[in-house]
Structure 1
Amino acid sequence: MAVEGTTGSELVSIVALLGAAVVMVPIFRRLGLGSVLGYLCAGLLIGPFGLRWFTDPQAILHVAELGVVMFLFVIGLEMRPSHLWGLRREIFGLGTLQIGVCTAVLTGVAMLLGLPPRTAFIGAAGFVLTSTAIVMQLLSERGDIALPRGQKIVSILLFEDLLIVPLLALVAFLSPLPHDDGGGRWVGVAIAVAALAGLVAAGIWLLNPLFRLLAAAKAREVMTAAALLVVLGAALLMEIGGLSMAMGAFLAGVLLSESTFRHQLEADIEPFRGLLLGLFFLAVGMALDLAVVAANWPLIASGVVAMMVAKGVCIYAVARITRSGRGEALDRAVLMAQGGEFAFVLFAAAQMAGVIDSPANANLTAIVVLSMALTPLVVLLVRRFVRTEAKLSMDGIDAAEGLGGSVLIIGFGRFGQVMSQALLARDVDVTIIDTDIEMIRSAGEFGFKVYYGDGRRLDVLHASGAGTARALAVCIDDRAAANQIAELCHGHFPQAKVLVRAFDREHALELVALDVDYQIRETFESAVRFGQAALEALGVDADEAARVSEEMRRLDAERFSLEVAAGDIRAGRPLIIGNTAPATPTPFTTPRRESQRLDASTGGDAAGEGGT
């Protein structure tokens, strides 16, 4: 709305929205019920069927959908094209199987509830479209999005978002109302294809040059405005083409996932995403028509239970058929057993097309809204009473917050424990973070102070003191996570040297491409020394065995340098490869410092050999 049109009553409405969220969400989180259920109950309380502070939840819902749009943009930033291609079997294979089975079964369930076949099919198709907002929020709160089980759920959600387009076309086909001979449909298809092609072209050829130009201007607020422009512009373009706004934003994120500005974009979008997503949940709570529920409670109550149970059973069966474990299958079934926000779009379009009537729309909408509201509670109950493994307590474990030190060690397994000893022996100020609760507790018994923190999160790195550290040592045994952390560290903490444990030779090359200051393959040095000991056990002179080992290091370093040169990595910049350099350095292996030790008294640089 325009500023001059803002009235006192509108300001009261804004204050009411914010106040309801500020009061209800902390209460529900304190009770262990999660923020989503808090938002939904707050919306129900202040909506047209509660205190009646708001009478038009659909208007708020339309604006709040931008929260879902921004959420998918952020997810797209993490989905590089190669990674997305790697998920193609989950997106199209697993997604198709789950949706097909669920649609067939839910249509039968809806018919058993007394709905006509056409209405039953529309209701089932809408209920199959899981709530992306709720599931992604729950996965985010649990930190499961980047895990394999989380990636499968994300893949299915993406396919469901794509499905709204053919479903809307099917609604038009089923419509008993008179329509044109098909020419208008082909025009719509052409517009959709043109919009999609335009977005891809802009992402490939325009977005990165635009952000480079804006970054050179060094105006933070302009970068934020540009980030919002990209998200909203992509959503608008897809809406004009008759496609999903959320999918447009997701595609824009994917196109920018290889950009050096992606972490900055994520940081700029995050506040708006969180606020609008909360507003979306508030609007969903307001949309629950209690009068409809009261008038048709037998149908709605039985419909919610029957549809959620049937969908959950189908999802569990599909997960087990595709060889997921019992725990993973149950978790996916519980998380995805509800209907979603796209069901509202589908039901409204079906009513306008004459496929379903107004009472059916109201009843189906109530069933979907109640299923969305019940999901966080069902997830909580299942995780509490059907737990397959003991819950790890955080008692006595401190989260990373307000820390600082000369060196930040990320990961304190066997590798991190060994490498830390040299630093601690010189009284270097070290901060250590990890996500393994049992390891943190065990390390505390031996006098090590390890904080809980996920190094893949930029806010955790800041809280751990990465902004003031002189060296950042990534010692985790997760290859993908190590790359992600290395990229974050290199892009946001230029004052620090970045040292990373490499899994193997291929991973070492990836780390060089990420421009880390130092990397070492985790088993290389131990294997070389093991071979040296084997020679000595066979009677070879100790000096000769040491010379052979040194020659192995030199030859390996030369081969590695040639591989780097062949890949045109670092454009000829000096490189430390983590193993002893050749006697005569090549242009790609010139040592960058005389000492590889961190000397706290003289302010030396951080580097050195690792290996367990």
Structure 2
Amino acid sequence: MDGFLLQTTIFLGTAVIAVPISARLGMGSVLGYLLAGVLIGPILGLVEHSEDLLHFAEFGVVMMLFLIGLELDPRALWAMRHKLIGLGGLQVLLTGTAITAGAIWMDQPVKTSIALGMIFALSSTAIVIQTLSEKNLMKTGGGRSAFAVLLTQDIAVIPMLAILPLLAAGPILQIATDGSIHSVGDDEAHAAEISLVEGLPGWGVTLVTVGAVVAVILAGRYLVRPIFRFIHSANLREMYTAFALLIVIGIALLMTMVGLSPALGTFLAGVILATSEFRHELESDIQPFKGLLLGLFFITVGSQIDFAGFFADPAPILSLTLALIFAKAVILFGLGRVFGLRGRDQVLFTLSLAQAGEFGFVLISFALQQHVLEPALAEELMLVVALSMLITPLLFIAYDLLTRRMSDSAEIHPDDEVDEQGPVIIAGIGRFGQIVNRLVRSAGFRTVVLDHDMRTIELMRRFGVKGFFGDPTRPELLHAAGLAEARVLVVALDDPKAATKLVAFARRDRPDLHIVARAHDRHHTFELFNAGANDIVREMFDSSLRAGRYVLENVGLSEYEAAQAEQAFYKHDRYTIRELAQHWDPKIPTVENRAYIARAKELEKELEMSLLALLETERKEQD
């Protein structure tokens, strides 16, 4: 017991230090956990036997697949079916087939080669999604296509876990109810297992197995909701967590008892519950356990990687890793071409998914338990997966370098010839600019719409709204759109820096022009104010103000009082912006700007006093 507690303390302590450092360096939490395991295992030798903890941590994989199922609303899956089945399905199939063929060519057994194909067909969901989000690339064509492929890969893990036992070449290992791994041929372990299919004829096994799956579906559909309502009446927060864990552990136990993968049952239950009103409650209850157990899983994997063997002869592992990345990149490049990706989107799609992923560790461990892989081969595969994931940041750096050189390439559409002018120029026709454009045009005024996203321009043209493609920050495009004669310029660009640049240029060129600008946040508001914008609208300010008014109406104020408070807050915020702009310095972080903080506190106190005085006056007048 003392040894287990010491080992757990070492693992958790290392994770608490290593993972935040990894996240700050932009490598992501998964790589942080792996590096933590490498540090306490091969490097420092603080842990020697982590198998027991690994068996416990493997239950995090079961929880992860349950959460994946919860996120897969069947209606959303149906809407994405073309990309999921087409792009994602072909990626998994072609990559798996190519790697299987390559393994057979390298004299690996057919069953082992099939397992290798499944392991390396997957990419790193954790690293890629996090990096795409950090670089604001999720909304690009390449980012959306990469997400679709990653979603398909996550779903594909389920049949892979079901197929691997069929490839077993020796005694099959199973996950017991306590999370430990036991051999089916082990008499002692076998006696401890509770099986619902042992001794049954083939048709009986099939009937019981199908019955268990149907029971999971029916329970998720009709039983979970009443139980949740019953628990809700107790008003005890810990009971929600207990019930969420009961669902996952109970289904995993049932699947084990009928000889199926626990992950398969929990994933299926997650999909069934994806449309439930308790979906988010379940997700929030399970998420901490999933994250902790998965972190322990990756740490134990890292602690078991044989880096001593790698440094003794690094050439074979490096060669296999680079060959894997090259093979996946070629297949991804071809698929991207077939599915209409070009230029930057195609490069992003190709490089972002060319590595192996964290599910590769899961499948390697599972295949090792099933005796599909030899221990020596499994160690080499873990090294290949780990190295390919460590190389992923370099692939994104390569993307940045390549796309910079492509900035003047044929990928960029030539700017449209602007043949219209009007009193209102709208730069940026995203969600913000669309509303402005519809309102102004509906009131009978002509607008000239400019945007640098060709897809957005083409979409607007389908709805009968004419727009011109080009970079709105280019002076020649603005002058062609009638900047010299325009009365109002609306700056609705997504990029804060580009928006500030456009406002500054327009103010220099037309001192008398009225400029309405979209601000990302308060700091961007100050930048636009200094650049010369007349009216500045923060993205979330007006909608948040309306929400606040609705709150006031439902906590005791009348509609009139709430509207007055909303208007007073709005006017005071305008005044606050002008006041704080005098103290704001872009060279000084806000938390270190004492004058700014002191004035902000004074203004907040003034707001509170003025609102209370206003409401008191209104009540007296009503009385």
TM-score range, shorter chain: 0.5 to 0.7
Q: CA shift at 1:205, angstroms?
A: 0.4
Quickly say closer, same or farther: Cα 1:197–1:154, change in 2 above 3 A: farther
**Structure 1 letter corresponding to 2:565:** A
Q: CA shift at 1:209, angstroms?
A: 1.4
Matching residue of 2:24: 30
Matching residue of 1:153: 149
Contact between 2:351 and 2:396, CA under 8 Å: does it hold in 1? no
Mapped pair 1:88 → 2:53: no
Partner Cα distance (1:187, 1:341) in 2: 37
Structure 2: any 5+ residue segments left out of the alignment? 173-184, 186-198, 408-430, 440-491, 505-515, 524-539, 570-623
Contact between 1:72 and 1:246, CA under 8 Å: does it hold in 2? yes
Quickly say closer, same or farther: Cα 1:304–1:199, change in 2 above 3 A: same
Quickly say closer, same or farther: Cα 1:255–1:14, change in 2 above 3 A: same
Mapped pair 1:55 → 2:130: no
Matching residue of 2:217: 200
Cα deviation code 1:459-487 (max 9, x no counterpart): xxxxx999x977339xxxxxxxxxxxxxx
Mapped pair 1:451 → 2:521: yes
**Structure 2 letter corresponding to 1:299:** P
Partner Cα distance (1:20, 1:249) in 2: 30
Cα deviation code 1:410-444 (max 9, x no counterpart): x855648999xxxxxxxxxxxxx997645875799
Matching residue of 1:386: 402
Q: CA shift at 1:46, angstroms?
A: 0.6
Q: Secondary structure at the match of 1:54?
A: coil
**Structure 2 letter corresponding to 1:293:** F
Equivalence map 1:424-503=2 (5 Å): 437=496, 441=500, 450-451=520-521, 471-472=546-547, 495=551
Structure 1: any 5+ residue segments left out of the alignment? 391-410, 420-432, 454-463, 474-492, 499-592, 605-612
Contact between 2:245 and 2:286, CA under 8 Å: does it hold in 1? yes
Contact between 2:30 and 2:126, CA under 8 Å: does it hold in 1? no
Partner Cα distance (2:518, 2:220) in 1: 48
Equivalence map 1:3-14=2 (5 Å): 5=1, 7=2, 9-14=3-8
Quickly say closer, same or farther: Cα 1:496–1:233, change in 2 above 3 A: farther
Matching residue of 1:167: 163
Partner Cα distance (1:198, 1:227) in 2: 17
Mapped pair 1:40 → 2:5: no
Matching residue of 1:600: 565
Equivalence map 1:245-256=2 (5 Å): 245-256=262-273
Q: CA shift at 1:201, angstroms?
A: 0.9
Matching residue of 2:102: 109
Cα deviation code 1:90-139 (max 9, x no counterpart): 33343432222112221333345554555444323322244555555556
Contact between 1:68 and 1:133, CA under 8 Å: does it hold in 2? no
Quickly say closer, same or farther: Cα 1:200–1:113, change in 2 above 3 A: same
Quickly say closer, same or farther: Cα 1:452–1:284, change in 2 above 3 A: farther
Mapped pair 1:77 → 2:74: no
Q: CA shift at 1:72, angstroms?
A: 4.0
Quickly say closer, same or farther: Cα 1:448–1:327, change in 2 above 3 A: closer
Percent identity over the alignment?
Answer: 35
Instruction: Name which of structure 1's ranges 311-320 and 9-18 shifts more when overlaid on structure 2.
Output: 9-18
**Which of the numbers 379, 387, 398 marks the counterpart of 1:362?**
379
Mapped pair 1:64 → 2:39: no
Partner Cα distance (2:77, 2:322) in 1: 35
**Structure 2 letter corresponding to 1:84:** L
Matching residue of 1:15: 9
Quickly say closer, same or farther: Cα 1:69–1:359, change in 2 above 3 A: closer
Cα deviation code 1:552-580 (max 9, x no counterpart): xxxxxxxxxxxxxxxxxxxxxxxxxxxxx
Cα deviation code 1:456-513 (max 9, x no counterpart): xxxxxxxx999x977339xxxxxxxxxxxxxxxxxxx994789xxxxxxxxxxxxxxx
Q: CA shift at 1:280, angstroms?
A: 3.0
**Which of the numbers 236, 243, 251 marks the counterpart of 1:219?**
236
**Structure 1 letter corresponding to 2:158:** L
Partner Cα distance (2:253, 2:130) in 1: 24
Equivalence map 1:168-187=2 (5 Å): 168-172=164-168
Number of residue-to-residue matches in the alignment: 437
Q: CA shift at 1:143, angstroms?
A: 7.4
**Structure 1 letter corresponding to 2:400:** R
Contact between 1:113 and 1:299, CA under 8 Å: does it hold in 2? no
Q: CA shift at 1:198, angstroms?
A: 1.9
**Structure 2 letter corresponding to 1:149:** S
Quickly say closer, same or farther: Cα 1:357–1:380, change in 2 above 3 A: same
Contact between 2:123 and 2:150, CA under 8 Å: does it hold in 1? no
Partner Cα distance (2:48, 2:94) in 1: 38
Matching residue of 1:316: 333
